[in-house]
Amino acid sequence: MKSKFIGALIGTAVGDASGALLEGYSMDEVNSVKGGSDTWEMISGRYTDDTEMMKGVAESLIENKGFNGEHMATRFIENYDPRRGYGPGTREALRRISKGESWKETSKKLFGGKGSYGNGAAMRIAPVGLFYYDDADKLREIAYKSSHITHYHELGKEGAALQAFSIALAVSGTKKEDMLLKLKRFIKSEIYKEKVRKLEAVLDKEATKKEVNSELGNGEAAFNSVPTAIYSFLRADSFKDAVVYAVSLGGDTDTIGAMTGAISGAYYGEGGIPKRWEEKLEEGKGKKGRSYIRWLGEELYRVKVFIS
């Protein structure tokens, strides 16, 4: 189980770094520069906002032995590094909170009062999926609350809950039909229910990448990327194949890679992640990279065992 906790966090960073240099490229552009799974190599170990924010979620859950919104928002602000490439909504939310606005109110004011449905809450959610893997109601509650700091829109929150629950199922060793059945029971929003129906259909017919992008999406909206990450995990038989496939779809490659890496790392454990990819991950600013992320996985597991 400890290896799965570490695997989900390192998997997020490895998936993120694998797609980082290709973010925004179309599927055809990505495939013109990259080969298949056998020849694919991680070009750079530099991760982006996806991993930077995931670390904040993990740090806050560990320090508080559970959720504390004010503290988590503070961690996001302390860790903020503009060179990591944040989404505009998240950047604005963190700027406002750092100026003294309440973390409970800020996200409601973005995108004309509707709030963000971007995938920024889902991409960082792995620690919530791990910490609450054995309690689906609590997992949903904390996924919504942790999303609320930056993502008020119900589709942003539901995407994060769906990603967290996929990680929880993966930690418990659930895959294929069983995972799909449980996901369908868990989802509340009609938009995500429809996406999971499409996911099932593309899985059944071994669809082309073009069909996958058209049915599930490869963009920055949570509903156009979380189901794609779940699909990338479900169709593959290894961590490497899942992440290589996710990135090869083009679009929001770092984030679909990070979310696929989180689910796959939770399922296969740290041992399933190619060693040379993990070793290539940067040690990060202030040595808060690879070894630190690994330590966060260990600590999250230790605290989980302690409170259980």
- Angle between the N-to-C axes of helices 239-248 and 2-20, in degrees from 0 to 180, rounded to the nearest 10: 30
Per the structure block, which two tokens stand in for 115?
A: 């709030």
Is 44 one of the binding residues for ligand F2R (CB under 6 A)? no
Query: What are the phi and psi torsion angles at 270 (to 5°)?
Result: -60, -35
Nearer to ligand F2R, 169 or 221 (CB): 221
Nearer to Mg ion, 115 or 120 (CB): 120
Position among 150, 255, 260, 264 found at the interface with Mg ion (CB under 5 A): 255
Is residue 289 within 8 Å of residue 253, measured between CB atoms? no
Is residue 254 within 8 Å of residue 220, measured between CB atoms? no
Residues 50-69 touching Mg ion, rule: CB under 5 A, are 50
Position among 35, 36, 88, 173 found at the interface with ligand F2R (CB under 6 A): 88
CA dihedral 256, 260, 261, 267 (to 10 degrees): 170
Distance in angstroms (rounded) separating the CA atoms of residues 285 and 281: 12
Is 85 one of the binding residues for ligand F2R (CB under 6 A)? yes
Is 254 one of the binding residues for ligand F2R (CB under 6 A)? yes
Position among 218, 228, 255, 264 found at the interface with ligand F2R (CB under 6 A): 255
Is residue 186 within 8 Å of residue 162, measured between CB atoms? yes
The number of residues in the chain equals: 308
Helix (H) or strand (E) holding 4: helix 2-20
Position among 153, 198, 280, 294 found at the interface with ligand F2R (CB under 6 A): 153
Q: Is 217 in a helix, a strand, or coil?
A: coil
Distance in angstroms (rounded) separating the CA atoms of residues 121 and 161: 9
Binding mask 107-126 for ligand F2R (x = CB under 6 A): ----x--x-xxxxx------
Query: From the list Mg ion, ligand F2R, none, which binds 278 (C-beta under 5 to 8 Å, kind-based)?
Result: none
Helix (H), strand (E) counts: the chain: 16, 0
Residues 189-248 touching ligand F2R, rule: CB under 6 A, are 220-221
Is 49 one of the binding residues for ligand F2R (CB under 6 A)? yes
Helix (H) or strand (E) holding 223: none
How many residues touch ligand F2R (CB under 6 A)? 23
Binding mask 13-52 for Mg ion (x = CB under 5 A): -----------------------------------xxx--
- Binding residues vs ligand F2R (CB under 6 A): 23, 48-50, 85-90, 111, 114, 116-120, 153, 220-221, 252, 254-255
- Binding residues vs Mg ion (CB under 5 A): 48-50, 252, 254-255
